[in-house]
Chains A and B, each alone.
Chain A
Amino acid sequence: MSAPANRREKRIAAEEAGALIARALADGDLLAIGGLFKQGRPMALVREVIRLGRRDLKLVSSPGSGFDVDLLIAAGCVAETFLPAVTLEDRMCPAFRGAVEAGTLTAHCVDALSIIGGLLAAANGVPFQPVAAWKGSDVPAHNPLVAPIQCPFTGAALYATRAIRPKLALLHAQEADVYGNVRHLATMTYADQLIARAAETVIVSVDRIVPPDEIVARPRETSIPCIYVDAVVEIPYGAHPTGSFPLYSIDEAHIEHYADLAEAARRGVDGARDRLADYIAAQVHASPRQEDYIARAGGAARMRALEDEAATL
């Protein structure tokens, strides 16, 4: 039996993504971003958020984040972060660090279990998740998501970490069908499945739309079923410069170039703030269409090199 002919598609055109994000996310809202560190980040959708000029956003993600968060901060979109680790891994995130040190950004003191526990609680529809693994650390006492509780059965001292319910989740995967069934081809799916279940609205960018029959052929590989997804949008290389394994690898040189600009701006080097603003103007504001963005990012030749690197792993 095939799907009813009049079944509503959840696929939207790339040009429609901005309007949908604008409806789902207001200034000051909590935005969840999928992926981990430099992989599987929904970069094209993140650039939409910047183009919309959203301000005072609160950010949450899987436990490790970096480039996209730093770009959002550099573009002036963020007031608070609920992010355990913010790093480019081999160097620090310059805009994040600079904004916290300047007092313009509140980086809440959270860890992986308070974020995963909070998303888990929201996904399961309960107000908090108990945690028993934080002995000795200063983090729980300063974590706004956490309160001490007692086990109702044994009386043992525990912590509760409160449910996290993002207004909007932006995710990236390799494949989906037009009905919003999402398939990660990457080995790791990060916290994307939890985030999809926790957020009020979920928009997923994918590198390619595949026929519904291909999804039905291997249902166990559907990483996020359509019931948790509000819209899918096909954006080839939509994770660039982060990686979308196994299709294309991380564009380390691009991220390094950005980090150099942002670090110079943080240090107050002469003219560096303007150069960072120029980068954001060119990469984000002057390239609303993905084709233009990719052309600026090195075009087909650069993308092929990243595909080749991913293919040889």
Chain B
Amino acid sequence: MSLDCTPAELQAVYLSRDLEDGELGAAGASAAIPMAAILLARLTHAPNLQIAGEMFVNPRPRRLWNSMLDDRALGACEASETFLELFGHSHRGLDFFFHNGMQVDARGNINLHFVGGTLERPKMRGPGAANISYAAMSKRFYICTTVHSPRTFVEKVDFVTSPGFLDGPESMKAAGLKGGPRFCITPLAVMDFDPATLRMRLKSVHAWSSIEEVAAKTGFALGIPSDVPITPPPTARELELLRGTVDPEGLLRS
């Protein structure tokens, strides 16, 4: 076991362990950590993991890039699709997808549109979201953020760009939603969802952080179980594959 890794590396390794052999999923845009997780899973326990849904089928990137949706990153692949195929992928859904957010709330809803003011006249306008369908139509998704702050983690998002668990079990039923976020991983901690309330709770804390720090940097009352372990660190083998094969340029270390 090695503790000598960066938050981004730990996030990638932790996510990779949750992806199952034979599943079909995609990383999305600006998604170096999710793509690293997928590539690492293929090298370890999931050689038949299929990547599709974002135009590049089973890409073989030589290194990671900040933007993971162009020929530079994914041009070497088994097939390319066009946006015409996005319709089918979006309606069939994937096994897994990843989301980041300008705001993420206690029930895992994602906001990429605006913070403060109104949609028409926002205080802060975000980028919006390319594909909002994967959150609703995929079997599950992961929330992977590069910051953990009270501004990002709020009680209720100002706008639901992509649905998490909406307002809880009743609203999920009313909306006809079945999937949802499996867990959320940040540079400080892993948080999952209480099955009864579908509210976020602390699952584990990364070795360099603490329950107190995570609670202070979360902008809502985070459920804290009596037993909160340290997030399991990468194995030597995982780190070797991550650094040697997936991310030789060290993007996740910078």
Contact = CB atoms under 8 A, between A and B. Distances in A.
A113 interface: yes
Interface stretch (A13-21, A88-96, A200-208, A268-276): A88-96
Contacts of A190: 82-83
Contacts of B119: 109, 142
Contact of A92 (B72, B77, B127, B175): B127
A97 interface: yes
Given A89-B66, A137-B160, A188-B70, A83 B128 contact: yes
B43 interface: no
Contacts of A116: 83-84, 86-87
Nearest to A64: B130
Interface string B153-195: 0000001111100100000100111000000000000000000
B6 interface: no
B136 A109 contact: no
B185 to A, nearest CB: 20
Interface string A225-247: 00000000000000000010110
Interface string B66-102: 1101111011110010111011001101000000000
The B interface is mostly helix, strand or loop, or mixed, namely loop
B137 interface: yes
Contact of B136 (A37, A89, A137): A137
Nearest to A35: B70
Contacts of B62: 313
Contacts of B120: 106
Nearest to A139: B132
Contacts of B159: 138
Nearest to A86: B127
Interface residues of B, number: 54
Interface residues of A, number: 56
Given A39-B70, A134-B136, A187-B74, A139 B161 contact: yes
A139 B129 CA distance: 10
Contacts of B133: 111-113, 133-134
A36 interface: yes
Interface in A105-138: 106-107, 109-113, 116-117, 120, 132-138
Interface string B113-144: 10000011111111111111101110000000
A5 B177 CA distance: 61
Given A111-B131, A133-B91, A313 B136 contact: no
A84 B86 CA distance: 14
29 contacts: A37-B67, A62-B83, A64-B69, A85-B128, A86-B127, A93-B127, A111-B131, A120-B84, A133-B93, A133-B133, A134-B133, A136-B135, A136-B160, A136-B163, A137-B132, A138-B159, A138-B160, A138-B161, A139-B161, A188-B70, A188-B71, A188-B80, A188-B82, A193-B82, A194-B83, A245-B70, A246-B75, A249-B72, A313-B76
